[in-house]
Structure 1
Amino acid sequence: MKALVVYESMFGNTAHVAEAIASGLRETMDVNLCAVQDAPTVPAEDIGLIVAGGPTHAFSMSRTQTRTDAISKGASEGMVDFGLREWIDGIPREQHASALVTFDTRVAKVRHLPGSAARSAAKAGHKHGFESYASPESFYVEDISGPLLDGELERATAWGRKLGTRVAMPR
């Protein structure tokens, strides 16, 4: 089985988390890693698992306005008009890998507040007919632009490893 790891990143933190997750997954499967703007909306037939993530903006997945705000605060990556929300919406229903697992990056000081890009993406994926192998996962940054908290990349690698092992097991 192959996995596709898709990420949206504005400040680079979510990209680093995606790379770490892909590293953990690679211990048990082939992995394609790509930024959301480069990701196929119709993943190849040999993709059995999609792991998708992005930054939490205003308690959900980013939108054009929140991406514009991020750029005004110094973000140098990503696109204003296209992110994880638009990518998931563009996937044809029922014509994709059967499993979607989601992650996000969030500011640590508000971790107790409701809403996350990962949970929103999981709900959007469910509407497109995906099943999930794991609950959405959050990785934490110190502030809007980062950096990632100590240990988060190691935790992301371990999470990827765990996902890969779970998917590789017969169901």
Structure 2
Amino acid sequence: MNSLIVFESQYGNTERVARAIASGLGESGPVGLVAVDDAPDTLPDDVDLLVIGGPTHAFSLSRPETRASAANDGAPGTGRGVREWLHGLPTPLPVPRVVTFSTRQGHSFVSGSAAKSAAKALRAHDTVARDVEDFFVITKAGPLEDGELERAQEWGRRLGR
């Protein structure tokens, strides 16, 4: 199975989760890992699984304003976000399986989820996310809660089966 992980990370936590997922997925075949700023505007034909991840900002996927706010708080940030990248992709997506993940603060549904927002955005491309997963940070800048990287790696293994 050939997988591609596209991630957005403001403080580095989502990137760490993406790398852990890649580690688990790598047990089942090749994995490409790319930051959203460098993500292809046309998906390769040989991708069997597309994994899309980003941080939860203001209950959803980041926007230019929320990324600017994170940058004001010291985050290195990104030029574009998953929201904008998804918007530019073709309909339907030429990938058999797509899943989404996010990092977010708090376990309450009230805090929102970029993963759920990305899954909703995929529906505009006549594509259904096969799985949606959230990973948790202690504060918006991190660190990740204990055990989250191990959980991400295991999720990657499950996705590869």
Percent identical residues: 50
Aligned residue pairs: how many?
A: 161
TM-score, L = length of structure 1: 0.90
Alignment correspondent of 2:136:
140
Summarize deviations over 1:72-127 as a string: whole Å, max 9, x none.
Answer: 11101322xx100001111011242132100000013x634152100000011122
Q: Tell me if 1:54 matches 2:76.
A: no
1:8–1:15 Cα contact (<8 Å) kept = yes
Show the counterpart of 1:111.
108
Q: Which residue of 2 aligns with 1:19?
A: 19
Aligned-partner Cα distance in 1 for 2:148–2:16: 10
Structure 2: runs of 5 or more not aligned: none
Q: Distance in 1 between matches of 2:73 and 2:49?
A: 34
Q: Residue 169 of structure 1 corresponds to which residue in structure 2?
A: none
Question: Tell me, what secondary structure is at the counterpart of 1:150?
Answer: coil
Name segments (4+ residues, structure 1) moved above 3 Å: none
The unaligned stretches of length 5 or more in structure 1 are 166-171
Residue 132 of structure 1, CA deviation: 2.9
Q: Aligned ranges for residues 16-165 of structure 1 at < 5 Å?
A: 16-79=16-79, 82-108=80-106, 111-134=108-131, 136-165=132-161
Alpha-carbon separation, structure 2, partners of 1:78 and 1:45: 26
Give the deviation of 1:131 after TM superposition.
Answer: 2.9
Deviation at 1:48, TM superposition (A): 1.3
